[in-house]
Chain A
Amino acid sequence: MALGRFVLKRALQGIVVVWGVVTVVFGLRFITPGNPISVIAPLDASPETRQAIARELGLNDPLYVQYLDYLLGLLQGDMGYSYISNTQASAQVFARLPATLELAVVATIVAVVISIPLGVLSATRRNEPADYGATLFSLAGISTPNFWLGIMLVLVFAVQLEIFKTSGRGPGFVSALSMLVTQGSAAGLLSWLSYITLPALALGTYFTALITRLTRSGMLDELGSAYVKAVRAKGLPETLVRYKHALRNTLVPVITVLGLQLGTLIGGAVITEAVFDWPGLGTLVITSITARDWPILQGSLVVIGVGFVLINIAVDTLYAYVNPQVVYE
């Protein structure tokens, strides 16, 4: 069975990739300036105190022992303990993961819902005002740094108009949803929206712009191709030509980019999370870097790496449904 073998093969490759990520991340700590002791210990701590901290953190062991210990722990789901708060790194990382996933997924949904219709519109009304508007929008979206956009959104919609919250996460989607189901109250959902709308917009704008462009150019290519002429000549209604044939073929590169971008959103929403004080992996990565809290940083990066690999496998698998020409090898 081709699909099963394909997934298995990609999974094995994925494991090698993750191992590579772990190794590189682990190696990084030895070439990064500054060590955790000088962050943990006060400036005037005695050499004895420093030694005691190093012992406690296991920093005195030889490199390969630290590395093997870490790999072994990781296999058992143990990412070690935070240098700073002494709690389990895995607990901290997984506590942050839902917030990041939530933001990434909502930002992606915002992007897809806006960009694909906009791209199609732009392509089918080529060189009309609608096209110019859409192109201008995507140009602006790609050129605007999202931290700046985030700050502007906050200033206008949260500080001035007070429609949305400036920062934080509020109840989270799951508890908002359960409130709706168990108590029949939409208050939780509204509160959730008031927190997530601005960060999702800020994060999704670049993405929206990118996919709008991609959809537009893909659609233009497809609409000019021979098979579209053929189905048109056959007398197929224009709606079917556009959406069943042209758009479907356009979506192949769109899905690739979508997948890759979703991965980036999980790992790369660092700045947006910082601006909105969103309690996700991004802010965790930042704090752990400043504090040289390596177990937390490594744990976050490993989770992000695994996320990337999984999304890539999922994207590759999805290809076949969209484009039967793709063969699993």
Chain B
Amino acid sequence: MSNGTRETIGRRRYLQAAGAAAFAASLAGCSGGGGSGGDGGGSGGGTTTSGANASAGNETGTGTSIENPQTRGEYLQVANRFSHDQAPWIFLNRQYSVYGVANTVEWEARRDERIDGYAVVPSGGKETVTITQSQMDSGLDPHDHRETPTDNIVLQAYEGLLSRDAQGEIVPELASEYERIEPGRVRFRIREGPTFHSGDPLTPEDVAFSINRIVDDEVGGLVSPQSDQLAGVTGAEVVDGERAVDVTSDGINPIVFSLFASYCDVMQQSWVQSNDGPYINTHMNGTGPFRLANYQEGVQVVYERAPNYWQDPAPAAGLTIRSADESSTRVNQLLGGETDLAVNVPPQDVNRIRDSGSAGISPAPSTRVLFNAMRHDVEPFSSPEFRRAMNLAIDLDSIVENVLSGFADATGQPTLEGFSGFNPQVDPYPQNVGKAEQLVEESGQAGAQLTLHTPVGRYLKDVEIAQAVANQIDQLSNVSCSVEQREFSALAEEITTGKIEDKPPFYLIGWGNATFDASQTIVPLLASNGELTTFSSERLDSLMNEAGSLPGDQESG
């Protein structure tokens, strides 16, 4: 596609979008004008502006407001502004990962919830490191799982083409360079030097095989549950005569490098092909800094420093990962000196660890956002005023402070800070009970009785957050709200049928997005055809389509 054509389409789409925005702005206007004049100033506050609205030009902020989005990032920012104004969710908090770290090791928490044993430095003559997670792995095959605990166990021994630093920025790993060579084709140059723990050197064939094992059900004896982690990727092939692999995608796939920075561990083709599933699930053969020494399923995994690692050898000679489901058990292990790193320290135990003198706390914002979805197709949530009123009814700062002890960030848009497409000019909704009540009146939904469904124990303090939200909504004079506690898998079953009418009208859920890209939150959750959507808007769909047709920002390295 030539540049000219794309621009034309871009402009046409923009015009459509602007029309929708005017509509949205008019909806927003009836509330923004009537409420407090103050809260619309500054960065847009609650409801007065939308991205392509003329009044947005008056805003102060870090950048100029986007009236005419051109780049992918700008389209995504407008989409986030639009989502804020339309309020398809009650925007809640970004979760933090809170780790307890013994004074015997040095380590910084990462944003993507991963614990890289390579980055844990034991001190004071200590040689080995022990990590306690909440759960063990679901098997050691790096392509046959979907959860963080298994990720953490697998990533000590396996590596990907790209990786991330502690802030979530993309850095090269097994690929030394990467670039887009055509809209639907990207090329990774494969590093010379890495060897598998079996002793064999890494080849481009291994890389192509690993990618195909994930995206192609016919390759590698596995229907990988990770195929949608490499969304859009159709296959990989070795470039003739070069130490490089080309990855093809369906369409331009702007987030392809982001995907490879989070997913796709490289395995050795001959090792996979000569072993069966149970063997691959209980043994490891990667290129990583640690190799498997002993595996006790469900109990612990013991690693030793891999000889001949292609970078500096790991600081720790040995690494053990174990698990304790009970958070108090993890904390006790830490304080008893039996583990060096404990995951998911609950807020009530933070001071106990800080006061112990033998360990400290290392928090990091995670990639998970909590929100209350409101189904746009049923009353009272079909009214944008009502949805905004729900956001204005709650005191998010107090939830962050009192329920989560400050280990959370308030959010005001679907995308988290630091992600591609985050709109820095959008602030969380401030609490404004008077305005909320007024909006409810205007929406014609006064007297609504809501039931907020929440999972129990799935997310940090989920029930407590839901109760706080319901209480605060219940404080409104013209809405009542109660909480219904649900077992997670029962709630998940209703949410994941693919039909909006099966979902509860109003529920709390969390969404992790390890790609650090707005599209992987907005498309599945808010686009009209998203797998989990509770919202539908032509404008948002067109903004996301536009963003999907433009290349991403971190395109080579």
A-to-B contact residues, CB < 8 Å:
33-35, 38-47, 49-50, 52-53, 56, 84-88, 92, 95-96, 151, 154-155, 158-159, 162, 165-169, 274-277, 279, 283-284, 286-287, 291-292
Contact = CB atoms under 8 A, between A and B. Distances in A.
14 contacts: A41-B225, A44-B531, A86-B139, A87-B281, A87-B297, A158-B336, A159-B332, A159-B335, A166-B333, A166-B338, A277-B325, A277-B326, A283-B298, A287-B325
Interface in B330-368: 332-333, 335-338
B448 interface: no
Given A34-B488, A38-B492, A158-B336, A49 B326 contact: no
A84 B139 contact: yes
B498 interface: yes
Size class of the B contact interface (CB-based, 8 Å): 35 or more
Which of A56, A158, A277 has the largest number of chain B CB atoms within 10 A? A277
B489 A292 contact: yes
Contact of B225 (A49, A162, A292): A49
B100 to A, nearest CB: 13
Nearest to A85: B139
B223 A42 contact: no
Contacts of A274: 325-326, 329
A136 B532 CA distance: 58
B135 interface: yes
B138 interface: yes
Contacts of A52: 223
Given A166-B336, A287-B298, A86 B492 contact: no
Given A85-B139, A87-B139, A287-B325, A167 B333 contact: yes
B336 A162 contact: yes
Contacts of B146: 40-42
B490 A49 contact: no
Contacts of B223: 52, 56
Contact of B324 (A95, A159, A167): A167
A87 B325 CA distance: 21
B323 interface: yes
B354 to A, nearest CB: 15
B201 interface: no
Contacts of B493: 33-35, 38
A88 B281 CA distance: 12
Contacts of B495: 43
A34 B282 CA distance: 28
Nearest to A271: B326
Contacts of A154: 329, 332, 336
B322 interface: yes
Contacts of A92: 297-298
B165 interface: no
Residue from B297, B326, B335, B509 with most neighbouring chain A CB atoms (10 Å):
B326
B492 A39 contact: yes
Nearest to A157: B336
A9 B493 CA distance: 46
Nearest to B278: A87
A52 to B, nearest CB: 6
Nearest to A165: B338
B333 A44 contact: no
Nearest to A169: B299
Contacts of A85: 137-139, 281, 297
Contacts of B322: 168, 277
Nearest to B222: A86
A39 B138 CA distance: 12
Interface string B483-495: 0000111101101
